[in-house]
Structure 1
């Protein structure tokens, strides 16, 4: 891929080239970019001396050819090399070595195995920032990776274990892609990722993990763990990751009891949690207090408890579809940001808790779908005189309790209640922090 900030020069890409003659290139000693991608070049048709005189070459693109061996020697001035989508089985020591200006190397979609990578592959090329080795046949993480790396792709390989210290020098790494491998719990230890102090994006999806790995970097923002065989989330594996915003745990084998009640404690930035396609039989306790998007569809949840979402004050999107909830009699969605009474509520509902929202009107058809209601709790909303249509309650022959305290006629009380909730929230956060310190 050509860098977007540079113009595309005329190049022999997208042709039918099968062979390069060194004498044809030798005259181009000032050439900076050579694009030979999408041809039919083989290793036999690309002599070792082909690039010998291109001492100013910065960008070399050989993707989508038929190379089986990487060139043994490449110019030392290279900045970016793309060998993606070939048939490479071997890299030589000086293919990428001794190139201090080299910044990016693309080797995805080849046939590289461990034996085809030399231990000193980047010797003298310590400034490489992007290394893409996805879709090969690697069983081990390459040794002596450049310390400047900030993006490393190893997805779609055959990794079963990450040896101790494999990432210990990569303190600048921000993105690590390990999905679609064969990693197990035994293949990772508590220090596998610990030294990755700048890591923000970690993808461990589609592996063979049965638990959330311990020792994850505190700097993580997005954590992919979907499509494993995870059965448990322990109390202390996620809580140190105070920067975590996205947690994707869908398509695992989680049951509610496998998620520790303190698994999400103190994660104040965690706003998106995916738990769909698991085996949850109920809503897990101890949900992140500031979660905004919670996906728990396609589980085995049979009912909603009154306190299941009692502390999720910021919840904006909740998906409970395709569970086993049958004829719920109670729905509690208090303490959210609702401005209207939800439509198409279950006919079986008997108690509806809507207090501490921002509901300002009760229209005539608000409860047409719920004729069996016995209790409606609308206290501390924004209802005013004239905003409640009396006919809205005429069909509710079983209604016993209608609670609208703390609305228009108790405006000051409502404001006091709002301040009180904020203070309670702050107190709860302080209690959480004190408890975490005691751990």
Structure 2
């Protein structure tokens, strides 16, 4: 008898007599080709076995949704799982209790492209130097939120993203991130890196790095050997007091630079610091110790954040070339009466938003850019608004003058007449005793809380047909001081805040479109049956901290309020029981054609 050698990958038919008998029987049947079941033995079912392929091996409790993916996230694992398939390309072990990575287990997984070890307890001692030498296809490694004290000495050349954030790293090595031609993103924030821990050749041979995060470390100056390919550089929350000359001279692709929350002074910068950054769009220098606007700012800037410094004076020449600047933030500096000379900001032709709150300005800056859309000036010392103070900004849509020193007698009747595009006006926290005149007809939001208003007359509110929100909280208003017809023209008003005044009952004839009414903190002791007849769309009513008792609210008061869902009556002398009206029945929808 001649024994046939089994083909590689196929079972030995000579060792299975039952199967041979079955095949011989099939060959004797008429109409069947003689090669059935012989050319591709793997397609033929074994006796007593299913035709389905055997299940893939998967570590206990893990999930393997695809042949190349193993997910062991959040299983409280303390030991690296065995039985991981060699075909794995994506392995997630995040949110466990691993303390070390065994080299023999990792070396098997040579096809890995993504390794996620985020949020474990892995120390540098538990991560051998040769741990990644066999992972020649690895592209993404996430080891954030572990216990590493030094970075791995060798990472694969194939790497594209490396995340070592939130460890205790004090040192990286030349081949940690060097010689990685495909490397795009490196995250090292929230570590303990000083300049001594960054070698001068840390990124040599890695010419594609676009994002580098070194924030929340212990750097005392900007490292001079950063990748020239950078587009985003995060250096915030360090101890940086200086940018060495030339440190940023090669980063000509840089678009975003974050240096906030450092110790930069004027002497730590010079006219050449940013001069080579011809693509820079976003520069954050806030929360430093600068006394003046830096020189040599790139003309490409769209956002310049200088808030929380010590700037006393803005030199026009320092901003003159920034014609594309959109957002200028100068809040919480020391700008006084002469801090913004007239016309200092006029060259900023594209300026959209100017933040100046928390300074010492006693008037609105003069000759502002004509295209300005948002002027934010709260917490200054502005005491007057003249007829022409806002004339240079006809496109203004948002004006915030809250918490200044404005008195009604010093707000000119025509102060707002040019602001036809104004949609939001905030005058809260001033000393106004009456509503300003000449308010723009297009207003959507008007905030007048925390003033000294004692009366409301219909004339200042006439024509505000688009007003949707009106806040009059924390004033001294009484119902008898609200003139007849005050609410008549507020046809679009949806939110009215009259809280913390001196109202003794619900004001009558409120706007029909009203959906939210704040009356808390008044002196209301009775709500009559007709209190809300004019507001059928009311959804939320706040009556807490008034003088209501158990029987203070007429049962009929809410009958017509089919949309009412919230009534707050807490903090009154007695618990007040309110029964909401039944839900309005839905109207049947018309059938389509």
The TM-score normalised by the length of structure 1 is: 0.77
CA contact (8 A) 1:256 1:283 kept: no
- Counterpart in the other structure of 1:125: 206
CA contact (8 A) 1:257 1:284 kept: no
Q: 1:338 to 1:358 in 2, by over 3 A?
A: farther
In the alignment, does 2:112 pair up with 1:31? yes
Q: 1:344 to 1:192 in 2, by over 3 A?
A: closer
Question: Aligned-pair distance for 1:347?
Answer: 4.6
- 1:85-124 aligned within 5 A: 85-124=166-205
Q: 1:74 to 1:344 in 2, by over 3 A?
A: closer
In the alignment, does 2:278 pair up with 1:197? yes
Q: Distance in 2 between matches of 1:127 and 1:95?
A: 15
- Equivalent residue for 1:148, pick from 214, 229, 234: 229
Q: Distance in 2 between matches of 1:371 and 1:153?
A: 54
CA contact (8 A) 1:235 1:261 kept: no
Question: Aligned-pair distance for 1:262?
Answer: 2.5
Q: 1:27 to 1:344 in 2, by over 3 A?
A: closer
- Counterpart in the other structure of 1:277: 358
Q: Distance in 2 between matches of 1:161 and 1:344?
A: 41
CA contact (8 A) 1:18 1:45 kept: yes
- Counterpart in the other structure of 2:368: 287
Q: Distance in 2 between matches of 1:250 and 1:344?
A: 18
- Equivalent residue for 1:262, pick from 315, 318, 343: 343
Q: Distance in 2 between matches of 1:16 and 1:372?
A: 69
Q: Distance in 2 between matches of 1:349 and 1:233?
A: 34
Deviations 1:339-397 (A, max 9, x none): 99x999955689x557xx7689xxxxxxx846999xxxx9xxxxxxxxxxxx999xxxx
Residue correspondences, number? 364
In the alignment, does 2:163 pair up with 1:163? no
- Counterpart in the other structure of 2:38: none
- 1:218-367 aligned within 5 A: 218-329=299-410, 330-331=412-413, 332-337=415-420, 346-347=432-433, 352=437
Q: Distance in 2 between matches of 1:370 and 1:343?
A: 19
Question: Aligned-pair distance for 1:260?
Answer: 2.1
**Local SS of the residue matching 1:257:** coil
Question: Aligned-pair distance for 1:68?
Answer: 0.1
Specify the structure having the higher radius of gyration (Cα): 2
Deviations 1:50-108 (A, max 9, x none): 11111111111110000001111111110110000000000011111111111110000
**Local SS of the residue matching 1:223:** strand
Q: Distance in 1 between matches of 2:422 and 2:209?
A: 52
Deviations 1:215-251 (A, max 9, x none): 1110011111111111111111112011101111111
Question: Aligned-pair distance for 1:45?
Answer: 0.7
RMSD: 2.9
**Local SS of the residue matching 2:338:** helix
In the alignment, does 2:133 pair up with 1:69? no
- 1:328-407 aligned within 5 A: 328-329=409-410, 330-331=412-413, 332-337=415-420, 346-347=432-433, 352=437, 369=456
CA contact (8 A) 2:183 2:206 kept: yes
Q: Distance in 2 between matches of 1:106 and 1:338?
A: 44
Question: Aligned-pair distance for 1:326?
Answer: 2.3
- Equivalent residue for 1:20, pick from 80, 95, 101: 101
Q: Distance in 1 between matches of 2:236 and 2:247?
A: 16
The worse-fitting range, judged by mean Cα deviation, of 265-274 and 77-86 is 265-274
Deviations 1:267-302 (A, max 9, x none): 221011110011111212222221111010111111
Q: 1:199 to 1:339 in 2, by over 3 A?
A: closer
Higher relative contact order (CA 8 A, sep 6+): 1
Q: Distance in 2 between matches of 1:253 and 1:263?
A: 16
- Equivalent residue for 1:137, pick from 198, 201, 218: 218
- Counterpart in the other structure of 2:556: none
Q: Distance in 1 between matches of 2:118 and 2:137?
A: 19
- List gaps (5 residues or longer) in structure 1: 1-5, 361-367, 379-390, 394-439
The TM-score normalised by the length of structure 2 is: 0.58
Question: Aligned-pair distance for 1:319?
Answer: 0.9
**Local SS of the residue matching 1:256:** coil
- 1:38-77 aligned within 5 A: 38-77=119-158
- Counterpart in the other structure of 1:215: 296
